């Protein structure tokens, strides 16, 4: 036991000491903590207004959906490799040491809880959205974080148990899949009945979320019902559902520890896979397809183009081989469906397209890096090809430009149709969204050029995010000022101004990052391994 | 062909390479030796234009970032990174078209045959073992028939056949007038063919050793341990 406590305490202490040698990391933490403290203080002096805010049942629905995503991930992971609760150094040093397997499991779970807390950090920044949307304060944010942590913790253990029980047993895997689906069937049936009865999707969803069926749905229902009950002051229900979550976690741990003392083998595959993935990242293999076990059928072969354009044709071949939709993958479908669902909620309300545009632009800040063009910078080929750097970058990013344009047209056209927006508005929103992606690419290259890529990925993302906000600010101010000066078509004028600013700023960023392939170090993904 | 003059590469305050001078002529095999962390990979990446540095690096007189220099240079990285969704044949096609290599099919076929990859042409990058990936990486570097070839630990991960073939390819490249700069930990693998060895220690070139500098009965390994450990290996036995 002493050795495990020593490991936890010493690791935490060393992480803190490391901050003395990494001032940028320290500054980042200070900023994050100051930000959370600021939000907390602001919430103390701001009176929550419930006027115009949504019913708490919708907060429950959001939380339910959010945790449901983790449920699906946990079941999938459990059926594949199990979840990662240990590091490779634990496997090499701890598993072979004379420390009891049960205590080692507890150690893994404590470490995992720390990771779940760090992963849920972003929830703390949602204070303003919660206040405006639901009229609740900072204490509600803390409760949501608690619910999230408990749910994610339970799901990680569940994932480990699923792997342990189904590894190499296809019939059991099928049974788990069926059980996972069955758990949600009552909810789907109830919603369908409500929909037929009321004829209104929103009303049907509201009725379902308010029903005991939603509350008693495992994990997602328990966590969302527990948190929202506590927020609304219903302590008994709150403690009941969160207690249920904790109890199920404890029972799962007990079951694994008592029934399967030799669980090391079960966690080994996940740990090794994770380690290999991280090692691949540091070696430059940042394509997620490299570690995918999905069977790929090689039908059409060959790459078109000549010189720099070959990079674009290579991207086409890779994308169409990776999935049947080519450039437009699962995310594109989720985005369009999400936009459509959002539009159903916003029908009849003012400014629906603008809110949708804002949400999609925020998401795009972090999704732009998933394009093959930016990933290409982590592999040596693009640097060595004897072609103009400018054209190499242009051809390398053409794929993401096509992708974003089509996604934008589809999402805003469908949303516009549902919300009854005029064609001009749909076109303007699509233009702003597409040019924003173009600007984000420019800012990415500018960040690389400015820093020389000689910094950690975390600091790079921080600099990039700040740069996006600073560069967008003048355009946003100009758009709001000019747009508000003109009656009637003010919004369209504002969007036009913003689109123009995005275009000019993007061109400026590309011009300033000229020679990025010559004047930056080839970036390396640092994973801490 | 490969000229490095007063080259320094710093990461913050740490000088990974400190005032390096090195040159590799046509038909010459230069070997970079040194313990872990000596700065060999940093030097190799700088030569290939993947890192910024102070000083000058030229390939056949062209600054290493120019298109002329890139046309002359082939690079085998330490870690073979292939595109997971491209087949082996498509990797060669990509390089051939990006480098505008003419009649690449025959050259590609010959390389694949040499490294026993001709039956793996339709395999995807992600389906290959580490050793196979290394072989494809070597084929990609050699397909444009570069005049200067830079290899970072090229033998790591290869099977005995792969090692034998790559050693033969290296010897053939040298004999055909190519300049080769090879970093390795496996001293015995280059013992037969090396012309000049640069022994690096803590970012510096601690010794430049030409084959003609060796005393009778002295091996490259003896020189290496004398420099890196300050005494003859025989003394330690």
| Phi, psi (deg, nearest 5) at residue B115 | -100, 20
Give the mean pLDDT of B162-184: 87
Indicate if the pLDDT at residue A253 is higher than 50.
yes
Distance from CA of B50 to the nearest CA of A (A): 5
Tokens coding A353? 């397209």
Indicate if the pLDDT at residue A51 is higher than 70.
no
Find which of A69-78, A239-248, A295-304 is predicted with most confidence, using mean pLDDT.
A239-248
Q: Which residues of B158-171 are buried (b: 16+ CB within 10 A; e: fewer)?
A: beeebbebbbebbe
Give the CA distances from residue A189 to residues A224, A328, B160, in Å, rounded to whole numbers and listed in that order. 20, 32, 63
pLDDT at B94: 95
Please give the helix or strand (H or E) that residue A48 lies within, else none: none
Please tell me the distance from the alpha carbon of residue A455 to that of residue B10, in angstroms, as a whole number. 13
Set of chain B residues whose Cβ sits within 8 Å of the Cβ of A379: 81, 83
pLDDT at B155: 85
Lowest mean pLDDT segment, chosen from A49-58, A244-253, B64-73: A49-58
Of the candidates B45, B97, B99, which has its C-beta nearest A386's C-beta?
B99
pLDDT at A429: 92
pLDDT at B233: 46
Tokens coding B197? 């060895």
Task: For residue range A281-329, list pLDDT tens digits in order.
Answer: 777 777 777 777 778 888 888 898 899 999 999 999 998 888 878 778 7
Task: For residue range A425-446, list pLDDT tens digits in order.
Answer: 899 999 999 999 889 988 888 8
Indicate if the pLDDT at residue A400 is higher than 70.
yes
pLDDT at A113: 72
pLDDT at A458: 65
Which stretches within A235-306 are classed as H helix? 235-259, 264-282
Using 50, 70 and 90 to split pLDDT, how confident is the model at A43?
low
Distance from CA of B64 to the nearest CA of A (A): 10
Tokens coding B35? 């313990």
Please tell me the distance from the alpha carbon of residue A338 to that of residue A356, in angstroms, as a whole number. 10
Report the percent of chain B where pLDDT is more than 90.
Answer: 43
Find which of A107-111, A371-375, A499-503, B206-210 is predicted with most confidence, using mean pLDDT.
A499-503
Question: By the CB < 8 Å criterion, does B81 face chain A?
Answer: yes
Please tell me the distance from the alpha carbon of residue B131 to that of residue A471, in angstroms, as a whole number. 46
Task: For residue range B188-198, list pLDDT tens digits in order.
Answer: 888 888 889 99
Set of chain B residues whose Cβ sits within 8 Å of the Cβ of A391: none
A46: left (phi over 0), alpha (psi -120 to 50) or beta: beta
pLDDT at A529: 45
Question: By the CB < 8 Å criterion, does A520 face chain B?
Answer: yes
Note whether A144 and A123 are within 8 A (CB): yes
DSSP assignment of A358-385: HHHHHHHHHHGGGSHHHHGGGSTHHHHS
Lowest mean pLDDT segment, chosen from A222-231, B20-29, B112-121: B112-121
Of the candidates A290, A306, A381, which has its C-beta nearest B97's C-beta?
A306
What is the average pLDDT value for chain B, to the nearest integer? 87
- Higher pLDDT pick, A455 / B161: B161
What is the average pLDDT value for chain A, to the nearest integer? 83
| CA-based nearest residue in chain B for residue A319 | B85
Please tell me the distance from the alpha carbon of residue A207 to that of residue A198, in angstroms, as a whole number. 10
Report the percent of chain A where pLDDT is more than 90.
Answer: 14
Give the mean pLDDT of A106-131: 74
Tokens coding A250? 């404890």
pTM of the model: 0.74
Indicate if the pLDDT at residue A511 is higher than 90.
no
Size of interface A-B (CB pairs under 8 A): 104
Indicate if the pLDDT at residue A332 is higher than 90.
no
Contacts for A8 with CB less than 8 Å, ≥ 6 apart: A107, A110, A111
Please tell me the distance from the alpha carbon of residue A511 to that of residue A441, in angstroms, as a whole number. 12
Note whether A400 and A371 are within 8 A (CB): yes
Do β-strands B148-152 and B179-183 pair in parallel, antiparallel, or remain unpaired?
parallel
Neighbours of A66 (CB within 10 A): 17
DSSP assignment of A115-136: HHHHHGGGGGGGHHHHHHHH--
Interface of A with B in 399-458 (CB under 8 A): 452, 454
Interface of A with B in 381-410 (CB under 8 A): 381, 383-388
Give the CB-side neighbour count of residue A117, counting CA atoms within 13 A.
Answer: 7
Lowest mean pLDDT segment, chosen from A54-58, A377-381, B98-102: A54-58
Note whether A399 and A502 are within 8 A (CB): no
Q: Is B198 helix (H, G, I), strand (E, B) or coil?
A: strand
DSSP assignment of A5-28: HHHHHHHHHHHHHHHHH-HHHHHH
Please tell me the distance from the alpha carbon of residue A199 to that of residue A203, in angstroms, as a whole number. 8
Task: For residue range A169-193, list pLDDT tens digits in order.
Answer: 888 888 988 888 888 888 889 889 9
Set of chain A residues whose Cβ sits within 8 Å of the Cβ of B75: 380, 384
Closest of A194, A183, A246, A251 to residue A218, by C-alpha: A183
Give the mean pLDDT of A400-422: 89
């Amino acid at each position: 036991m002493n050795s495990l406590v020593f490991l936890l305490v010493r690791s935490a202490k060393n992480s803190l000491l490391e901050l003395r040698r990494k001032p940028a990391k320290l500054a980042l933490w200070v900023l994050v903590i100051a930000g959370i403290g600021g939000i907390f203080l602001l919430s103390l002096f701001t009176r929550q207004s419930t006027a115009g805010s949504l019913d708490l049942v919708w907060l429950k629905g959001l939380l339910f959906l959010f945790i449901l995503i983790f449920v699906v991930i946990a079941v999938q992971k459990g059926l594949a490799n199990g979840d990662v609760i240990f590091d490779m150094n634990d496997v090499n040093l701890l598993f072979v040491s004379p420390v009891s397997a049960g205590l080692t499991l507890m150690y893994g779970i404590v470490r995992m809880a720390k990771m779940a807390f760090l992963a849920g950090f972003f929830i703390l920044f949602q204070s303003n959205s919660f206040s405006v949307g639901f009229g609740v304060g900072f204490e509600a944010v803390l409760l949501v974080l608690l619910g999230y942590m408990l749910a994610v913790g339970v799901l990680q253990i569940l994932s480990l148990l699923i792997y342990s029980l189904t590894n190499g047993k296809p019939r059991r895997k099928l049974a788990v899949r069926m059980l996972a689906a069955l758990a949600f069937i009552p909810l789907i049936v109830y919603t369908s009945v409500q929909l037929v009865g009321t004829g209104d999707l929103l009303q049907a969803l509201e009725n379902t979320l308010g029903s005991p069926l939603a509350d008693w749905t495992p994990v997602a229902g328990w966590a969302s019902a527990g948190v929202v009950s506590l927020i609304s002051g219903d302590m008994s229900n709150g403690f009941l559902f969160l207690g249920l979550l904790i109890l199920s976690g404890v029972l799962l741990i007990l079951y694994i520890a008592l029934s399967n003392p030799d669980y090391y083998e079960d966690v080994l595959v996940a740990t090794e896979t994770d380690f290999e993935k991280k090692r691949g990242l540091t070696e430059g293999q940042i394509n997620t397809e490299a570690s995918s076990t999905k069977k790929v059928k090689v039908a059409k072969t060959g790459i078109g183009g000549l010189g720099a354009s070959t990079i674009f044709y290579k991207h086409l071949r890779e994308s169409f081989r990776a999935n049947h939709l080519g450039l437009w993958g699962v995310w594109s479908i989720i985005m369009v469906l999400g936009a459509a669902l959002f539009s159903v909620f916003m029908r009849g309300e003012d400014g629906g397209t603008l809110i949708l545009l804002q949400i999609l632009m925020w998401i795009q800040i972090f999704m732009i890096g998933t394009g093959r063009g930016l990933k290409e910078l982590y592999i040596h080929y693009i640097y060595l090809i004897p072609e103009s750097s400018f054209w190499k970058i242009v051809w390398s990013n053409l794929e993401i430009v096509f992708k974003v344009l089509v996604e934008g047209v589809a999402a805003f056209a469908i949303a516009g149709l549902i919300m009854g927006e005029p064609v001009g508005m749909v076109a303007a929103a699509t233009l702003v969204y597409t040019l924003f992606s173009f600007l984000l690419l420019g800012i990415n290259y500018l960040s690389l050029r400015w820093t020389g890529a000689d910094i950690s990925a975390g600091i790079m993302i921080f600099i990039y995010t700040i740069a996006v906000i600073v560069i967008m600010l003048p355009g946003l101010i100009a758009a709001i000022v000019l747009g508000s000066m003109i009656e009637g078509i003010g919004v369209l004028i504002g969007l036009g101004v913003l689109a123009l600013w995005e275009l000019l700023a993007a061109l400026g960023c590309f011009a300033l990052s000229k020679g990025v392939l010559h004047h930056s170090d080839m970036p390396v993904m640092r994973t801490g391994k | 062909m490969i000229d490095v003059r007063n080259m320094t590469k710093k990461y913050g305050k740490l000088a990974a390479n400190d005032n390096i001078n090195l040159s590799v002529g046509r038909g010459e095999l230069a070997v970079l030796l040194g313990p872990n962390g000596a700065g060999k990979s940093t030097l190799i990446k700088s030569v290939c234009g993947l890192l910024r540095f102070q000083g000058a690096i030229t390939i056949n007189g062209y600054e290493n970032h120019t298109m002329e220099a890139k046309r002359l240079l082939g690079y085998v990285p330490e870690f073979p990174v292939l595109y997971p969704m491209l087949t082996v044949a498509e990797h060669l096609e990509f390089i051939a078209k990006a480098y505008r290599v003419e009649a690449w099919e025959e050259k590609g076929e010959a390389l694949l045959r040499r490294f026993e990859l001709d039956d793996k042409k339709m395999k995807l990058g992600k389906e290959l073992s580490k050793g196979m990936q290394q072989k494809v990486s070597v084929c990609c570097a050699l397909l444009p028939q570069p005049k200067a070839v830079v290899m970072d630990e090229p033998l790591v991960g290869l099977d005995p056949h792969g090692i034998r073939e790559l050693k033969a390819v290296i010897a053939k490249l040298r004999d055909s007038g190519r300049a080769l700069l090879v970093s390795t930990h496996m001293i015995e693998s280059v013992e037969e063919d090396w012309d000049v060895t640069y022994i690096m220690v803590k970012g510096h070139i601690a010794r430049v050793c030409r084959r003609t500098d060796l005393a009778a009965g002295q091996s490259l390994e003896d020189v290496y341990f004398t420099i890196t450990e300050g005494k003859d290996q025989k003394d330690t036995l």
